[in-house]
Structure 1
Amino acid sequence: MITARKRLARTLVVTSTAAVLAVGGVTGARALAEPENAAPAPGGQTAGSVFANRTVDTPNLVAGAASGQQYSYWSQGADERMHLSTAVLMEPKGAAPAAGWPVVVWAHGSDGWSDSCAPSNRRSADDRATVSHLLSRGYAVIAPDYAAVGAPGSPQYSDVDATAHNIVDAVRAGADVGESVLSPKWAVVGNTQGAAAATSLARNATSWQTGRLDFRGATASSIPAGYDDVVAGLSPSSAAVPSAVVADVLYTLASQDQEALAPILSPRGAALVQKAQKLCTSALIKEVGDTPLAELVSKPLASDAKLASALRKSLAIPAHGFNRPILMSQRLVDPTVVVPSSLRYITESQLTSNKVKMSTYLTGSEADGERQEQSAVDAFIDGLF
């Protein structure tokens, strides 16, 4: 039986694919299905409903994928408006289990604010490697872009709960796209920005999911703990942080009201915020160079109390109230986060919840730490199904 959402997807795929191919492939939700130029789903724009889908061409599949679907779907952002987002569903090779392929969502880290940086347009080598690894372990993989990437005035880009909602909606829509081959059981593997969303899902996914979906748990690696304090407390005396964190701060600032930011940013900060609206992560990190966080502003961000409060609220990561198992993992050598803050957060979280498993790796080698972490994540995810 084809659901209403499935019928909609099949109806729109012909027209949307023609438009997509005209611009050289899917480049994010807006290219796949522009809401202003196409009819909404029956009954309105419903979170988790499919707008359009198309088959991923064989040359564009990652290693280990037997087939793939790229689809756009509706998701409500922190601004309480519906946005189109894009995700890819890939199925592993071999015969599907009788109950369907268990689903793992790859919740990636920050790629950039522009829609040209969306993973559906330029999936990084690390993203492709992670998806391939999960496929090799017998999981169907959903890899979403995050809602409103590239849309002007999109504070939900860094909003933890909005990103988590977007992931749930990707799974709800993916259940329609892969209706006959997917198990209702699903889990999340999150890194950096995706790790923050994974912590929210470990507390909220069971109440947000619908129908037969059965959220089993999550892993969260390189959790950006204390990021809300870094951003809301941004000032000319801010402590030094890794350049990747400076880039994330710029993306967050780029998604805010620029009129409110103008009196706060330094000339250097204003120039980098403009670049953050266009550049993807690796290019922005190069532009940041050795610019310290403190040089982004000429006065404290807290001088705008409303802006600081909103950012602190949207960027806060939950530390308790989890109702599904979560592995919180942190390497000692990690250039993407402030390691002491992450270690302190996961230690406190483990003390307050029996759903939290803490995993650290006592090696000063980044490569060894990554190998040990991968092994811990694999074992934890396998144990959820």
Structure 2
Amino acid sequence: MISARKRLARTLLATSAAAAVTVGSLAGAHALAEPESAPAAPGGQTAGSVYANRVVDTARLMSGAASGQQFSYWSQGSDERLHLTTAVLLEPKGTTPAAGWPVVVWAHGSSGWSASCAPTARADADDRAAVNRLLNHGYAVIAPDYAAVGAPGSPQYSDVEATAHNLVDAVRAAADIGRSDLSPKWSVVGQAQGAAAAVSLARNATRWQTGKLDFRGGTATSIPAGYGDLVAGLSPSSTAVPTAVVADVLYTLASQDAAELEPILSKRGAALVEQAQSLCTEALIKEIGGTQLSDLVSKPLASNAKLAASLRKSLAIPTLGFNRPILMSQRLVDNTVVVPNSLRYITEAQFASNKVKMSTYLTGDEKDGERQEQAAVDAFVKGLF
């Protein structure tokens, strides 16, 4: 454990090199810069330990927050190495409860592979709305980026359990900097890529958390069920999927070793994978246009059996072994996932585990479905505490 004095000295050093103002970040503040070349974890450093933190200026806080800190921390990747990543801790307005603020981790959906797309640097309107809503309900919110975003040949971007580890490690680090203001009780609200991680936590968080931390459960909306099979089965005959799913596939491919992909990608696929390394989701979707999965490859990805097996394993979402309650939710109109796959998955998960609550919404109106889903998420999270 690092002493408070050493941590403070390191924090002051790191924050003096912080980057310029970023507009639309989750903190609405200066970005907490990671070094251009991430340092190797020093000897004795552990997952969940803080590398640096800084207080967010009051004038730059999100509307629902009374105070906040941006911090970078070490997290374990799928390569069993420690990677540096960043998160924001925001505390709500009002009097701190005697037991501390209950904590909710906002596990965001895919925003892009480049570090410049991470929510602490560039949050979209949906991320900001979700975080403010949680703050307004009286929760302290931890909003992590995901480790090794933008690092070439970095498969943990497309690894469900590695992402879940990032979330637990963010809570461990926040408990260090939040001190007595935070309750040990915490939950997770996950969307899309974050939903897959939330499902993993319902199975693994109680083993991974440390000290007095008390994981209560979570919610998962727009679960990318069957995504591993979709990517591993990529071929010139792949069926059509929503454009946002094509973007997710491109980000996953961008995180793989380029030499392994070169014989598989089509000319169009190679160009889009290259663009995926720098473009955030909205811009990448525009570049994709009418391109479909079948256009990305000239031969099946399964022609590289080792790569296909690795992707299928790393992107698998569990259906068994949950020891904490989880709400699995799916709207009928949802362009971020393949809806039939998600509905099939959550139906099977509910039958397999009494910890799973399934929630669907019988409306074809997208906005009405979103309202119903949000009400269900709010009620479920409240019940966890």
**Structure 1 length-normalised TM:** 0.95
Task: After TM superposition, list the pairs within 5 Å mapping 1:128-207 onto structure 2.
Answer: 128-207=128-207
Query: Matches of 2:30 and 2:167 in 1, distance apart?
Result: 19
Local SS of the residue matching 2:238: coil
Query: Matches of 1:123 and 1:358 in 2, distance apart?
Result: 29
Post-superposition offset of 1:40: 5.0
Query: Matches of 1:61 and 1:160 in 2, distance apart?
Result: 30
Stretches of structure 1 that go unaligned for 5 or more consecutive residues are: none
Query: Matches of 1:23 and 1:333 in 2, distance apart?
Result: 36
Deviations along 1:31-61, one digit per CA (max 9) or x if unpaired, are 4x9643xx855x5231000010001122331
Post-superposition offset of 1:81: 1.3
Runs of 4 or more, structure 1, over 3 Å off, are 5-9, 21-29
For 2:277, the aligned partner's letter is: Q
Stretches of structure 2 that go unaligned for 5 or more consecutive residues are: 23-28
Task: After TM superposition, list the pairs within 5 Å mapping 1:368-379 onto structure 2.
Answer: 368-379=368-379
Query: Matches of 2:144 and 2:93 in 1, distance apart?
Result: 21
Aligned to 2:12: 14
Local SS of the residue matching 1:20: coil
Aligned 8 A contact 1:75 1:166 in 2: yes
Identity among equivalent positions (%) equals: 74
Aligned 8 A contact 1:74 1:83 in 2: yes
Deviations along 1:250-289, one digit per CA (max 9) or x if unpaired, are 0000000000000000000000000000000000011111
Task: After TM superposition, list the pairs within 5 Å mapping 1:336-351 onto structure 2.
Answer: 336-351=336-351
Aligned to 1:297: 297
Task: After TM superposition, list the pairs within 5 Å mapping 1:260-275 onto structure 2.
Answer: 260-275=260-275
Query: Matches of 2:141 and 2:228 in 1, distance apart?
Result: 30
Q: Structure 1 pair 280/22, CA: closer, same or farther in 2 (3 Å)?
A: closer
Local SS of the residue matching 2:17: helix
Aligned 8 A contact 1:156 1:163 in 2: yes
Query: Matches of 2:3 and 2:295 in 1, distance apart?
Result: 49
Match for residue 34 of structure 2 among 6, 9, 30: 30
Aligned to 1:54: 54
Post-superposition offset of 1:30: 2.3
What is the number of residues matched between the two proteins? Answer: 379
Q: Structure 1 pair 116/299, CA: closer, same or farther in 2 (3 Å)?
A: same
Aligned 8 A contact 1:328 1:359 in 2: yes
Local SS of the residue matching 2:319: coil
Cα-Cα RMSD: 1.5
Local SS of the residue matching 1:373: helix
Local SS of the residue matching 2:220: strand
Query: Matches of 1:29 and 1:45 in 2, distance apart?
Result: 20
Q: Does 1:258 align with 2:269?
A: no
Local SS of the residue matching 1:342: helix
Query: Matches of 1:370 and 1:159 in 2, distance apart?
Result: 27
For 1:123, the aligned partner's letter is: A
**Structure 2 length-normalised TM:** 0.95
